[in-house]
């Protein structure tokens, strides 16, 4: 925008400068010619009396007195003889019938002034040839001053245009930076309203929007906290009641049912809290999360004598998932493998790109799933296995991807989370 404004100023200024300086330059040229003709007329007039009545010798003296390098003067007497320094009369013939002063321009640019003088013996003509030097006197100087002035004005207009453009674009650039920070989830970012009225309006609107998002998230947080309170309070009462049952077997059944209920409720609350965790934009580097979570679980894998293979790209893989969500999903998947396969059975984690999506696979060499399609849809009902996969499935879905569960022909199980790219 700034560049365009400067270009606009450059175009306008150059047109205006040309429109003024070109006629001015022509005018200066004319003025110099007129001044030379006026001088020639003066000199020529000063010898008119002598030419009218003087002898040839007197005329010759008078001519020598007024002629110099720049004004070559000659007098053609009525007899046809020429007094003074002759110049090419063949190329510049004098009209013998001349009755009034005449100015002639020669093809080479020089100018001749012819002044007829009546004598008793006929009409003599005083011709004054002006040199180029005198005709152009001061023109080049005036032109160079004019050119310098034009260039200075042009440069000045560019500087002023740039300043103006900057004062207009700076608030816009700052607005863009604020919007970018808000987009990254920094809800405390506010624009400093400034610049032209329209831009100031946009800044104020952006600030109102940011405040509103903050309010909505705070409200969401309150709602989830309230949900959590309303669900967990009765479960607490239920658990305390269940624990007070005297019969051991009944108490065991009741408390494990309460445990299951609690896990379900935890899961619901966790899911309800997703928007709060994500904030304005869910985004994390899957490479670093996967590498960190694998490193965390690796110690247990070693204690269980399991082989672990890890394939990771050596650069960040940005995905549309908040870091805590991806951590929880990885913990669920890795925890599942360690819980549901025999100790000593190896497993592997691989992260690879597929177009803009990122695929995170956890593979084990265990017996595999009986019916993978049930688990994929999250309808397993298989206690913790299902719950772990549920977390991974919902994380993948929320990112715009999907969860794939397979039992390959060669044995084992592969769970793959396809994670979508972060919003542009």
Partner 1 sequence: MPPGYGLGVASLLLIEDDLRIRTALTRALGERGHAVASEPTAMGGLQHAIDDPPDLVVLDLGLPDLDGTQLLRMLRSVSQVPVIVATARDDDRVVVEALDAGADDYVVKPFSADALDARIRAVLRRSSTDGAASTIEVGDLAVDLKGRTAVLGGRPLDLRPREFDLLAYLAARPNEVVSKRTLLAEVWQQPYGGADKTVDVHLSWLRRKLGESADEPQLLHTIRGVGVKLVGPPG
Contact between residue 351 and residue 418 where contact means Cβ atoms under 8 Å apart: no
Of the pair 123, 384, the CB lying nearest partner 1 is at 384
Q: Tell me how far apart the terminal alpha carbons of the chain are, to the nearest angstrom.
A: 23
Residue 193 is classified by DSSP as: -
Least distance from C-beta 367 to partner 1, angstroms?
15
Least distance from C-beta 411 to partner 1, angstroms?
21
Least distance from C-beta 243 to partner 1, angstroms?
6
Least distance from C-beta 357 to partner 1, angstroms?
29
At which residue do the structure tokens 């894998």 appear? 301
331-352 burial string, b = 16+ CB within 10 Å, else e?
bbbbebbbebbeeebbbbbbbe
Least distance from C-beta 354 to partner 1, angstroms?
29
> Helix 139-183 vs helix 197-243: angle between axes, to the nearest 10 degrees?
10
Beta strand extents in 122-185 (DSSP E only):
122-130
Least distance from C-beta 226 to partner 1, angstroms?
9
Least distance from C-beta 299 to partner 1, angstroms?
4
What are 408's two structure tokens? Answer: 């390959």
> Helix 248-272 vs helix 197-243: angle between axes, to the nearest 10 degrees?
180
Of the pair 239, 274, the CB lying nearest partner 1 is at 239
Of the pair 260, 281, the CB lying nearest partner 1 is at 260
Of the pair 10, 269, the CB lying nearest partner 1 is at 269
Of the pair 183, 367, the CB lying nearest partner 1 is at 367
Give the DSSP per-residue string, 261-320. HHHHHHHHHHHHTHHHHHTT---EEHHHHHHHHHHHHHHHHHHTT--EEEE--SS--EES
Least distance from C-beta 240 to partner 1, angstroms?
4
What are 357's two structure tokens? Answer: 């999506």
Of the pair 162, 271, the CB lying nearest partner 1 is at 271
Closest by CA position to 53, among listed 75, 86, 69: 75
Beta strand extents in 10-152 (DSSP E only):
71-76, 82-84, 102-105, 111-119, 122-130
Least distance from C-beta 315 to partner 1, angstroms?
28
Of the pair 146, 261, the CB lying nearest partner 1 is at 261
What residues make contact with partner 1 under the rule CB under 8 A? Answer: 225, 228-229, 231-241, 243-244, 255, 258-260, 262-263, 266, 269, 273, 296-297, 299-300, 302-303, 335, 338-340, 383-385, 387
How much helix, strand and coil, in percent to the nearest 5, is found in the chain? 60, 15, 25
Least distance from C-beta 334 to partner 1, angstroms?
8
Instruction: Give the pairing of strands 308-311 and 347-354.
Output: parallel
Of the pair 166, 305, the CB lying nearest partner 1 is at 305
C-beta neighbour count of 42 within 10 angstroms = 12
Residues 6+ apart with CB under 8 A from 221: 276
Beta strand extents in 14-101 (DSSP E only):
71-76, 82-84
What are 155's two structure tokens? Answer: 């440069």
């Amino acid at each position: 925008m700034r560049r365009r404004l400067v270009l606009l100023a450059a175009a306008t200024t150059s047109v205006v400068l040309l429109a003024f300086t070109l006629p001015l330059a022509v005018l200066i040229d004319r003025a110099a010619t007129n001044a030379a003709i006026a001088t020639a007329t003066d000199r020529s007039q000063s010898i008119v009396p002598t030419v009218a009545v003087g002898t040839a010798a007197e005329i010759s003296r008078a001519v020598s007195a007024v002629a110099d390098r720049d004004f070559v003067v000659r007098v053609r007497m009525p007899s046809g003889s020429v007094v003074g320094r002759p110049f090419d009369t063949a190329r510049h013939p004098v009209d013998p019938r001349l009755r009034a002063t005449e100015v002639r321009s020669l093809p080479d640019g020089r100018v001749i002034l012819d002044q007829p003088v009546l004598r008793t013996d006929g009409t003599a003509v005083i011709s004054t040839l002006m040199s180029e030097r005198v005709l152009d006197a001061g023109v080049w100087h005036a032109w160079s001053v004019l050119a310098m002035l034009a260039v200075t004005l042009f440069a000045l207009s560019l500087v002023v245009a740039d300043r103006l453009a900057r004062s207009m674009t700076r608030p816009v650039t700052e607005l863009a930076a604020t919007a970018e920070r808000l987009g990254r989830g920094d809800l405390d970012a506010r624009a400093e309203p400034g610049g032209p009225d329209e831009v100031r309006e946009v800044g104020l609107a952006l600030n109102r929007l940011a405040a509103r998002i903050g309010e909505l998230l705070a409200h969401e947080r309150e709602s989830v906290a309230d949900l959590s309170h309303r669900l967990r309070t009765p479960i607490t009462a239920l658990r305390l009641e269940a624990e007070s049952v005297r019969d051991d077997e009944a108490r065991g059944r009741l408390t494990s049912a309460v445990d299951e209920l609690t896990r379900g409720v935890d899961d619901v609350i966790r899911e309800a809290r997703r928007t709060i965790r994500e904030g304005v934009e869910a985004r994390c580097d899957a490479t670093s999360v996967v590498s960190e979570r694998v490193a965390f679980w690796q110690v247990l894998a070693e204690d269980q004598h399991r082989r672990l293979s890890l394939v990771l790209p050596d650069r960040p893989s940005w995905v549309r998932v908040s870091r805590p969500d991806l951590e929880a999903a990885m913990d669920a998947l890795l925890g599942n493998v360690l819980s549901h396969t025999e100790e000593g059975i190896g497993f592997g984690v691989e992260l690879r790109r597929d177009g803009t999506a990122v695929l995170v696979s956890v593979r084990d060499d265990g017996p595999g799933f009986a019916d993978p399609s049930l688990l994929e849809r999250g309808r397993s009902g298989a206690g913790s296995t299902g719950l772990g996969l549920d977390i991974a499935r919902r994380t993948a879905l929320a990112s715009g991807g999907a969860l794939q569960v397979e039992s390959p022909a060669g044995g084992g199980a592969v769970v793959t989370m396809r994670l979508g790219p972060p919003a542009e």
